């Protein structure tokens, strides 16, 4: 009797938990005390983005072990960024033992934002802006170089104009007039970085790619005076087609992100133009604070550029020494930009650049079609099983069908409770579980039939049928459970989704077939003295 009460209590607890986590999926606007957890859908069901990255360490001199560590570190850093980005149940995994990483982001509405977040190497640097004499020296050197080697850069011919006399030298200067040509300053590079409004050191949007290509040219970079470099300002996300600032900087970084302790999103109160809207507040560690104090103290009235991945975000003038070890990155940012940059800075720098080699977007329409197909398959399969069990086993078959329904609810409820993700392979695992649950009941019912044919009472036949079938059911289900655990441990993506639902389904099917079905049979037999059993 005591054993029956314990079993009844276990069944009651399982059924209550199943209802508690399953009901919100089908009934909206439940009371506030009900769970807020919902079953998440995978990339193949709700749409989203799939991105494959390649860790590019070709330009780095690394050993085989260091390359392995670079991929593992990149995977962890990207995982940290994605987790803070807020995508529900992302999947990140290494592709075999290669230098590639597969990322699945279900339900993502803005894949371009995610790509920007993932791809940044997050190299934060503070560099002094060159003074006027250094800027002039750089421009003269680069103008002269391009003038003498213009034939190697045909895309720059449009900028080969004498700004003083407005004469197209390409049409009026013959090859033999070398002396005259040297006297004419074409100002090619200066013209390139002067926008349509004649603002110097600003490059028009349509010329940015030309400038980028030039900055990657080895011969061109050799002409930049020693210790200096050229960098482009950040793109304005609100108006990406406006011209961008061009900076000439000291190559040596005064401070790097190595000393960054924390980055935070802040909202300015708007008392000044610099203190308006969202910005990034940086806090350095003790060593970084000392370095920052020295840099700002020794370079008052100089400009200090803040770069992220070689892009200048801001280059303010140092007004006074800053002893607190705190800095800010301000600008015409959107709140999303600031949040993404903070995520990147706090997650750390990637050990090597990453390249996006494949991108696939799954639309919600395809996802809804997959859901319909999966649900249809499950319904059709269940209807066939229900009809077969009732026709072949009568009332006992109906009891088995009730157990199958409860098992399906149990699987969904457990996945919701664990905040798991349902995918198409997961639905396949669920459908397979239905078949396995019925298989267990078939074994039990056949044992009961054998006992009844031998002339045993209904009570004795039922008890003997469940006892004799128990070992066979446990053997089959435990073997399958071990297989599912192996699939989860060594599988990836869809295989894991299949393994999860299969594992939960196996546990649920054993509970439904052995515990729940036996309790229902005992209720019918114990309370009523039956001489016959519909089976």
Transcribe 223-236 into DSSP letters: TSPTTEEEEEEPP-
Give me the CATH code for the 48-121 domain, please.
Answer: 3.30.70.3400
The least confident of 135-144, 199-208, 329-338 is 329-338
Helix, coil or strand: residue 199: coil
DSSP assignment string, 144-195: HHHHHTGGG-GGGGGG-EETTTTEEHHHH--TT-HHHHHHS---HHHHHTB-
The least confident of 92-106, 243-257, 270-284 is 270-284
- Domain 124-349 CATH (choose: 3.30.1360.200, 3.40.920.10, 3.40.50.12780, 3.10.510.20): 3.30.1360.200
Instruction: State the residue for tokens 């300053």.
Output: 185
pLDDT band for 166, please (50, 70, 90 cuts): very low
The least confident of 177-191, 242-256, 315-329, 413-427 is 177-191
pLDDT at residue 102, as a whole number: 87
pLDDT band for 527, please (50, 70, 90 cuts): low
Containing 125, the helix (H) or strand (E) segment is strand 124-128
Average pLDDT, the chain: 83
CA dist 337 and 165 (Å) reads: 44
pLDDT at residue 300, as a whole number: 93
User: Exposed, middle or buried by CB within 10 Å (0-12, 13-18, 19+), for 165?
Assistant: exposed
Containing 401, the helix (H) or strand (E) segment is helix 395-417
The least confident of 107-121, 177-191, 369-383, 500-514 is 177-191
Q: Does pLDDT of 2 surpass 70?
A: no
pLDDT at residue 366, as a whole number: 56
pLDDT at residue 170, as a whole number: 41
How many C-beta atoms lie closer than 10 Å to residue 333's C-beta? 22
The least confident of 85-94, 127-136, 137-146, 330-339 is 85-94
166 versus 504: the higher-pLDDT residue is: 504
CA dist 315 and 303 (Å) reads: 6
Instruction: State the residue for tokens 């550029």.
Output: 305
Query: Which distant-in-sequence residues (6+ apart) come within 8 Å of 225 by Cβ?
Result: 134, 137, 138, 141
For the chain, the farthest-separated pair of C-alpha atoms sits apart, in whole angstroms, at 121
What does the block give as tokens for 105?
């982001």
428 versus 283: the higher-pLDDT residue is: 283
User: Exposed, middle or buried by CB within 10 Å (0-12, 13-18, 19+), for 32?
Assistant: exposed
User: Exposed, middle or buried by CB within 10 Å (0-12, 13-18, 19+), for 151?
Assistant: exposed
Q: Does pLDDT of 225 surpass 80?
A: yes
Q: What does the pLDDT look like over 469-501, one tens digit per residue?
A: 888 888 888 988 999 889 888 776 678 778 888
Q: Tell me which residue of 267, 353, 347 sits closest to 85, measured CA to CA.
A: 347
Instruction: Please list the residues that pair with 233 across neighbouring strands.
Output: 312
DSSP assignment letter at 450: H
Q: What does the pLDDT look like over 345-368, one tens digit per residue?
A: 887 778 788 888 888 877 665 556
CA dist 526 and 531 (Å) reads: 12
pLDDT at residue 43, as a whole number: 73
Strands 421-422, 40-41: pairing is: parallel
The domain limits of the chain are 2-40+364-527, 48-121, 124-349
Q: Does pLDDT of 177 surpass 50?
A: no
* Contact predicate 405/13, CB 8 Å: no
* Contact predicate 78/91, CB 8 Å: no
What does the block give as tokens for 430?
């669920």
CA dist 122 and 485 (Å) reads: 38
Q: Does pLDDT of 141 surpass 60?
A: yes
Instruction: Please list the residues that pair with 167 across neighbouring strands.
Output: 162
Phi and psi torsions of 481, nearest 5°: -65, -40
What does the block give as tokens for 34?
């009900």
Rounded (to 5) percent helix, strand, coil in the chain: 55, 20, 25
Helix, coil or strand: residue 281: strand
Q: What does the pLDDT look like over 32-68, one tens digit per residue?
A: 778 777 777 777 777 788 888 898 887 777 888 888 8
CA dist 186 and 164 (Å) reads: 9
The predicted model gives 326-333 an average pLDDT of: 83
pLDDT band for 167, please (50, 70, 90 cuts): very low
Length of the chain: 535
Instruction: Report the share of the chain in percent with pLDDT over 70.
Output: 90
The predicted model gives 229-248 an average pLDDT of: 90
Q: Do the domains spanning 2-40+364-527 and 48-121 agree at the CATH topology level?
A: no
pLDDT band for 273, please (50, 70, 90 cuts): low
CA dist 277 and 279 (Å) reads: 7
What does the block give as tokens for 479?
């073997």
> CA distances (Å), 142 to each of 86, 183, 189, 252, 262, in order?
46, 16, 6, 20, 39
452 versus 185: the higher-pLDDT residue is: 452
CA dist 429 and 42 (Å) reads: 14
DSSP assignment letter at 303: B
Whole-model pTM above 0.75? no
pLDDT at residue 88, as a whole number: 62
The predicted model gives 132-157 an average pLDDT of: 93
User: Exposed, middle or buried by CB within 10 Å (0-12, 13-18, 19+), for 171?
Assistant: exposed
Q: Tell me which residue of 67, 40, 75 sits closest to 492, measured CA to CA.
A: 75
Q: Does pLDDT of 268 surpass 60?
A: yes
Q: Does pLDDT of 1 surpass 60?
A: no
Superfamily for the 2-40+364-527 domain:
Multidrug efflux transporter AcrB transmembrane domain (1.20.1640.10)
pLDDT at residue 120, as a whole number: 75
């Amino acid at each position: 009797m005591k054993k029956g009460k314990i079993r009844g209590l276990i069944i009651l607890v399982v059924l209550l938990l199943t209802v508690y986590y399953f009901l919100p999926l089908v009934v909206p606007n439940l009371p506030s005390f009900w769970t807020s957890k919902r079953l998440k859908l995978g990339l193949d069901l709700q749409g989203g983005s799939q991105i494959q990255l390649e860790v590019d360490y070709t330009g780095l001199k690394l050993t085989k072990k260091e390359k392995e560590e670079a991929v593992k570190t990149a995977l962890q850093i990207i995982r940290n960024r994605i987790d803070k980005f807020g995508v529900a149940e992302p999947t990140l995994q290494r592709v075999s033992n290669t230098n590639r990483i597969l990322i699945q982001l279900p339900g993502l509405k803005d894949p371009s934002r995610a790509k920007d977040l993932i791809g940044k190497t997050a190299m934060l640097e503070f560099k002094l802006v060159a003074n006027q004499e250094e800027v002039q020296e750089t421009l003269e050197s680069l103008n002269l170089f391009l003038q003498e080697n213009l034939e190697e850069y045909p895309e720059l011919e449009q900028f080969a104009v004498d700004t003083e006399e407005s004469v197209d030298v390409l049409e009026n200067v013959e090859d033999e007039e070398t002396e005259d040509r040297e006297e004419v300053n074409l100002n090619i590079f200066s013209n390139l970085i002067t926008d349509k409004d004649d603002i110097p050191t600003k490059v028009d949007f349509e010329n940015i790619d030309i400038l980028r290509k030039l900055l990657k040219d080895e011969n061109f970079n050799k002409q930049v005076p020693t210790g200096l470099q050229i960098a482009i300002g950040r793109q304005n996300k609100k108006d990406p087609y406006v011209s961008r600032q061009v900076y000439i900087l000291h190559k040596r970084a005064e401070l790097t992100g190595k000393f960054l302790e924390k980055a935070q999103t802040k909202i300015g109160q708007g008392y000044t133009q610099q203190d308006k809207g969202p910005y990034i507040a940086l806090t350095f560690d003790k060593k970084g604070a000392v370095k920052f104090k020295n840099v700002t103290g020794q370079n008052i009235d100089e400009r200090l550029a803040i770069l992220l991945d070689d892009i200048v975000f801001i280059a303010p003038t140092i007004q006074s020494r800053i002893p607190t070890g705190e800095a800010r990155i301000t600008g015409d940012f959107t709140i999303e930009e600031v949040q993404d940059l903070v995520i990147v800075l706090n997650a750390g720098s990637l050990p090597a650049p990453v390249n996006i080699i494949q991108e696939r977007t799954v639309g919600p329409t395809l996802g809804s079609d997959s859901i319909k197909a999966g649900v249809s398959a499950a319904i059709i399969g269940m209807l066939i099983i229900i009809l077969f069990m009732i026709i072949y086993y009568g009332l006992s078959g109906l009891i088995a069908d009730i157990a199958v329904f409860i098992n399906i609810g149990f699987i969904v409820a457990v996945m919701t409770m664990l905040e798991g993700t349902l995918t198409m392979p997961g639905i396949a695992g669920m459908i397979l579980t239905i078949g396995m649950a019925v298989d267990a009941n078939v074994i039990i019912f056949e044992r009961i039939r054998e006992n009844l044919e031998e002339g045993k009472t209904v009570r004795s036949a039922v008890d003997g049928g469940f006892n004799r079938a128990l070992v066979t059911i446990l053997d089959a289900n435990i073997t399958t459970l071990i297989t599912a655990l192996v699939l989860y441990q060594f599988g990836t993506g869809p295989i894991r989704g299949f393994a999860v639902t299969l594992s939960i389904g196996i546990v649920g099917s054993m509970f439904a077939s052995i515990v729940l079905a036996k309790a229902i049979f005992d209720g019918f037999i114990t309370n009523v003295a039956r001489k016959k059993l519909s089976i």
